Chain A
Amino acid sequence: MTEEGSWKQLFCHGDYMSEAYWGLEQNLKTTPLYKIHNENSAKLVNFAGYYLPIQYENGIIAEHNHTRNSVSIFDVSHMGQIKISGPMVYDAMEKILPISFSKIAPGQIKYTQFLNNEGKIIDDLMIYRSFEEDHVWLVVNADCTSKDLDHLYSNLNKAYKIELIEDRALIALQGPNSSNILKTFFQEIDDMPFMTADWFNYDNEKFFVSRCGYTGEDGFEISIKDRYAEKFINELLQCEGVRLAGLGARNSLRMEAGLCLYGNDISSSISPIEAGLIWSIPKERIENGGFIGHEHIKKDLENGVERKLVGIKPLGKLPAREGTQIFDKNEKTIGEITSGGYSPSLQTPIAMGYINSDILKSECEVLLNVRGNLIPAEITSLPFVEHKYFRGNK
């Protein structure tokens, strides 16, 4: 029995039972939660050069369902945290990113993408506008951190200080009970709406807490000093209902939420228009430009794009993974799956992928070529499972 291949970063063809397969023989980095992972029977894998848990002893489905119904902790310390400060930092960042600080209040976070000159995605990220108005704080994908830093150094002059924050762990607390748990530490977080962040003090430590996540649920990402991470997580685990969840559940949760994974659904050959991320670019930026890749974004919007990211529901029970070819009824290739697997919430297979735009106007039933079996599938809109973000007490 051998693995056939799934997540690009995690799985490749080979003997999945061997340490070499998981990349565990390499010199891997550990996060400040490494001890906690081991104490909780984590199955550790090589993810972006770190030992990280794909799952704990309850397994991916249980961890997934627990996150949807209660609250889970995810170790996302591998992600890059970058602080950029300097004079008129917002103006400088607007030349790099397709965002508009006139629309971002201090304390707010925006989802955006670094684009290359062709208007394709170098990385997707979260950017935070500080209350002090002197810096921005970015959270970027682990695998992209070094190319993001290169991109920033080549496009910001020496007046700007670019700091990779290497002494802070990043923890995601996700699920409908996450605010009930976190407000026992920081009372103020209860009223914080989705996509805002702030600094809080607890036990003489400074916590940077953002109300956002990658599951479609209400939740938080918490940046804390490495030295304090273990103590804080153990305190969280003492709270009723709080459990650990691994990368496997993180992937199935984000797929149900229709959120793109860099390296799968978006990459340096895909534009935000193709990926359905145009909502993240303000209208005036599209009209007025002044950011890297603008001409191509504008052109894509005017002329349309050849392919678009869609939701795909295979009919039946056979999951269709990334790389699966999508056929029309005449068995002509019309697209490809970029993320696919099993949805624990819907108890059916789900997938995301690109389909030729002209097909989308008419056909909604397609065929998936899974190892030579032609599986009928439905094209659907995203997300598969409704987002439950906290938009504020209004």
Chain B
Amino acid sequence: MAEIYFTKDHEWIKVEDNIGVVGITAYASEQLGDIVFVELPEEGITAEIGKDIAVVESVKAASEVYSPVSGTIIKSNEDLNSTPEIVNEDPVGKGWFYEIEISNNDELSGLMSEEEYQKHIGD
């Protein structure tokens, strides 16, 4: 059963064993508005916790996405190249950004639960 965690910077990560799927939250995608381009990490590169790993371009601005955990990128969501708008339509589902092999599962303890995140964005 996959578990979902959140960062204060509005990324989510769904974790099963040591594999995580990362994206941005519904709140973030709504704040950004119409997304027109996502610059995804290349497969095989190393991600560091809290360091920028992707860029989301909406009509109004470019925003950096920070990796919620350290690890190796296994796969990027190539559907975003042709249809970046799926990040707006289904941010926590089809609009995922990349899959990562987590190098240190202890890092997950520093992330927020869904409930904590909802509190963070002031719902």
Please list the residues of chain A having a beta carbon within 8 angstroms of any beta carbon in chain B: 1-7, 10-11, 16-17, 43, 54-55, 59-61, 64, 248, 251-252, 317-319, 321, 341-342, 344, 349, 371, 373
Contact call A60/B34, Cβ cutoff below 8 A: yes
Tell me which of B31, B63, B81 has the highest count of chain A C-beta atoms within 10 A of its own C-beta.
B63
Contact call A318/B60, Cβ cutoff below 8 A: no
Contacts of B11 in A (CB 8 A): 1
Give the Cβ gap from B34 to chain A, nearest Cβ, in Å. 4
Q: Does B10 contact A (CB under 8 A)?
A: yes
The CA-CA distance from A371 to B63 in the complex, in Å, is: 12
Give the Cβ gap from B106 to chain A, nearest Cβ, in Å. 23
Tell me which of B27, B57, B65 has the highest count of chain A C-beta atoms within 10 A of its own C-beta.
B57
Beyond A4-B55, A60-B33, A60-B34, whether A17 also contacts B61 by CB under 8 A is: no
Contacts of A251 in B (CB 8 A): 60
Q: Which of B35-52 contact A (CB under 8 A)?
A: 36-37, 39
Beyond A11-B61, A321-B62, whether A1 also contacts B34 by CB under 8 A is: no
Partner of B63 from the list A4, A61, A344, A373 (CB cut-off 8 Å) is A4
Give the Cβ gap from B50 to chain A, nearest Cβ, in Å. 11
Beyond A342-B59, A344-B59, A371-B55, whether A1 also contacts B37 by CB under 8 A is: no
Q: How many A-B residue pairs have CB under 8 A?
A: 84
Contact call A1/B61, Cβ cutoff below 8 A: no
The CA-CA distance from A1 to B61 in the complex, in Å, is: 12
Can you report 21 A-B residue pairs in the complex whose CB atoms are below 8 A from each other? A1-B10, A1-B11, A1-B24, A1-B65, A2-B64, A4-B62, A5-B61, A11-B61, A17-B27, A54-B33, A54-B60, A55-B33, A61-B34, A61-B59, A64-B59, A248-B60, A319-B36, A321-B61, A342-B36, A344-B59, A373-B39
Contact call A319/B37, Cβ cutoff below 8 A: yes
Q: Which of B56-104 contact A (CB under 8 A)?
A: 56-57, 59-66, 81
Contacts of B39 in A (CB 8 A): 318, 371, 373
Give the Cβ gap from B86 to chain A, nearest Cβ, in Å. 14
Contact call A6/B61, Cβ cutoff below 8 A: yes
Contact call A248/B59, Cβ cutoff below 8 A: yes
Give the Cβ gap from B12 to chain A, nearest Cβ, in Å. 11
Please list the residues of chain B having a beta carbon within 8 angstroms of any beta carbon in chain A: 9-11, 24, 27-28, 31, 33-34, 36-37, 39, 55-57, 59-66, 81, 121
Beyond A1-B28, A60-B33, A319-B37, whether A342 also contacts B57 by CB under 8 A is: yes
Contact call B63/A1, Cβ cutoff below 8 A: yes
Contact call B62/A1, Cβ cutoff below 8 A: no
Contacts of B64 in A (CB 8 A): 1-2, 4
Partner of B37 from the list A3, A55, A252, A318 (CB cut-off 8 Å) is A318
The CA-CA distance from A6 to B63 in the complex, in Å, is: 10
The CA-CA distance from A3 to B24 in the complex, in Å, is: 13
The CA-CA distance from A373 to B57 in the complex, in Å, is: 15
Residue in chain B with minimal CB distance to A252: B59
Beyond A1-B9, A1-B10, A317-B36, whether A60 also contacts B56 by CB under 8 A is: no
Contact call A60/B63, Cβ cutoff below 8 A: no
Partner of A318 from the list B24, B31, B57, B66 (CB cut-off 8 Å) is B57
Give the Cβ gap from A243 to chain B, nearest Cβ, in Å. 16
Contacts of B34 in A (CB 8 A): 59-61
Give the Cβ gap from B80 to chain A, nearest Cβ, in Å. 10
The CA-CA distance from A341 to B57 in the complex, in Å, is: 9
Beyond A1-B9, A55-B33, whether A16 also contacts B63 by CB under 8 A is: yes
Contact call A6/B60, Cβ cutoff below 8 A: yes
Residue in chain B with minimal CB distance to A58: B34
Tell me which of B10, B34, B39, B65 has the highest count of chain A C-beta atoms within 10 A of its own C-beta.
B34
Give the Cβ gap from B40 to chain A, nearest Cβ, in Å. 12
